[in-house]
A and B are shown apart, each in its own frame.
Chain A
Amino acid sequence: MADTATKSISIPDNASFISDFPILKREVNGHKLVYLDNAASAQKPKKVIQAIEDYYFNEHSNVHRGIHYLSQLATDRYEAARERMRKFINAESTKEIIFTKGCTDGINLVAAAFAKAHLNKGDEIVITEMEHHSNIVPWQMACADKGAKLVVARVDDRGMIDMADLKSKLSDRTKLVSVVHISNALGTINPVKEIVAEAKKFNAYTLIDGAQAAPHGGIDVQDIGCDFYVFSGHKMYGPTGSGILYGKESVLEDMPPYQGGGEMIKTVTFEKTTYNELPFKYEAGTPNMAAAIGLAAAADFMDDFGIDKIAEIENKLLAYATERLSQIEGLRIIGTADSKTSVLSFVVDGTHPSDIGSIIDKLGIAVRTGHHCTQPLMDKYGLPGTCRASFAAYNTLEEVDLLTNGVKRAVKMLR
């Protein structure tokens, strides 16, 4: 290596963690893969892949309806996964755990059902400037439908929510506040507990978009006090097409169903249908059992290694990467909040993020470039997008060195 830093930092031993991920051994463009696109989707450990395989090899049948052995077995496994995910976010009851396709699916479910039940003309929904498109567009659609207004709270230059501005935008008209727990573009950890408490002063409902928080674990929905919490499985080492919508039981009871079909009904006649109880009321059709079981395996996997150890590794990787990349002349880190997860967004003067991304891809390094589905935030900062390196606990300090050298090389070519 042309340029190796004397490391000012060391991380806990993660060799066993790394060896759990088969894909990390592969090569890309003649180099060993350096996967730093974890905020987009994390790779899958053997435990998750095997749980899915076992399910299809030995346990699959349709759930909640069979009299036969396999149907009961699949139901038991599926419901055990629900209990596992209840525990993962410390919800009070499994009635509050709805399996979804992912975070976007969860927000759309809430936006549709909540709007039907509670949203009226002149009402307001408050979001922030740092929301992902999936926490903007469903609310725009609901507002357009109901004649309600979308109100946007400011984010400051370092990428933190301007709490004074947010508070000033809450009023008796506020029906719901929907905020991202951790920003996918900046890594900012938002003070969601405080935001929920502020919203409650106006009896507003609250939704927290936990897509980027789930991979780090330690979520406690009762402590946060939110009405809804949504996240995807695939960012927390689980399968794609898996996700959780948490909703307070009383709040979910007060909303109508989202989709109609099998599973979600109690009785059906052509005149009238009565709906099933929670959580089944919101799970129309045969669910994705394999994904739910894989997701529960991912939660086990994270706990087996240790949430604290995962956090320590990620935080140290972020600190080291911040230190190393900051040494590159003209490199500017976008998102310098006090409290951050392992997301490092940056731009380099005189270069375009997509050029840097294309060049380091040739070195086997995977980062995300572009607007990260947060166009309003990029527009606010006057950026065409950023390069984003996002670290998981299977990354290493050596990979941070490879990233740094790769970016240096790209910048040299581009300037």
Chain B
Amino acid sequence: MAESIQEREQEIIEEFEFFPEWMEKYEHLIELGKSLPLIDEQYKTEDNLIKGCQSRVWLHADREDDSIKYSADSDAIITKGIIALMIRVLNDQKPDDIINADLDFINKIGLKEHLSPTRSNGLVSMVKQMKFYALAHQAKQ
């Protein structure tokens, strides 16, 4: 049994408590971004592309039994770091839980501005898209 979304969010919040300074926080995000497994090249298509004014995001979802596996990429590394966190929280979770996740941990670790709908870096649209995949998966079940 995988950890719940909330448990994983709590883990990340505790992890970021080690980085009170913005610079350490960003360095950690950059490391996470660099470690994010790249999306399989075949999925880096126009269809999977989420365009933001600032940066681009590619998102792919695979359905496995009753859960979803995401892979993603971005041309901006800080965006990619935040994507890594999102994937860590939502991967292998049940569609129902994904749809209802409020993902407030981004706010709690002090990265709220990156998820602002006005920032237009593709992240907000990515979260919507992740939930959309979950919804589609649920409908098929």
Question: Using a CB–CB distance below 8 Å, which chain A residues touch chain B?
Answer: 29, 351-355, 357-359, 362, 369-371, 384-385, 413-414
Q: Could you give, for residues 55-97 of chain B, a 1 whenever the CB lies within 8 Å of some chain A CB and a 0 otherwise? A: 1100000000000000000011111000000000000000000
A362 with B55: CB separation less than 8 A: no
A-B contact pairs, 12 of them (CB 8 A): A29-B22, A351-B77, A352-B55, A352-B75, A352-B76, A353-B54, A354-B79, A354-B121, A355-B79, A357-B54, A370-B53, A370-B54
Main secondary structure of the interface of B (DSSP, over half): helix
Which residues of B are found within 8 Å of A370, using beta-carbon distances?
53-54
CA distance A351 to B77 in the complex (A): 8
With contact pairs A358-B78, A413-B27 given, residues A385 and B22 touching in the complex (Cβ less than 8 Å):
no
CA distance A20 to B2 in the complex (A): 60
- Tell me if B136 counts as interface (CB < 8 A to partner A): no
A355 with B53: CB separation less than 8 A: no
With contact pairs A354-B76, A354-B121, A371-B53 given, residues A362 and B30 touching in the complex (Cβ less than 8 Å):
no
Which residues of A are found within 8 Å of B78, using beta-carbon distances?
354-355, 358-359
- Tell me if B139 counts as interface (CB < 8 A to partner A): no
Which residues of B are found within 8 Å of A352, using beta-carbon distances?
55, 75-77
Q: What's the minimum C-beta distance from A72 to chain B, rounded to whole angstroms?
A: 43
Count of residues in B whose CB is under 8 Å from the partner chain: 16
Which residues of A are found within 8 Å of B1, using beta-carbon distances?
none
Which residues of A are found within 8 Å of B114, using beta-carbon distances?
358
Q: Interface centre among A29, A353, A413, by most B CB within 10 Å? A: A413
Which residues of A are found within 8 Å of B77, using beta-carbon distances?
351-352, 355, 414
Which residues of B are found within 8 Å of A369, using beta-carbon distances?
54
CA distance A381 to B16 in the complex (A): 38
Question: Using a CB–CB distance below 8 Å, which chain B residues touch chain A?
Answer: 22-23, 26-27, 30, 53-56, 75-79, 114, 121
A384 with B75: CB separation less than 8 A: yes
B53 with A362: CB separation less than 8 A: no
CA distance A358 to B80 in the complex (A): 13
Which residues of B are found within 8 Å of A354, using beta-carbon distances?
54-55, 76, 78-79, 121
10 new A-B pairs (CB below 8 Å) besides A354-B79, A354-B121, A413-B30? Answer: A352-B76, A355-B77, A355-B78, A355-B79, A362-B22, A371-B53, A384-B56, A384-B75, A413-B26, A413-B27
CA distance A385 to B75 in the complex (A): 11
Which residues of B are found within 8 Å of A358, using beta-carbon distances?
26, 78, 114
Q: What's the minimum C-beta distance from A356 to chain B, rounded to whole angstroms?
A: 10
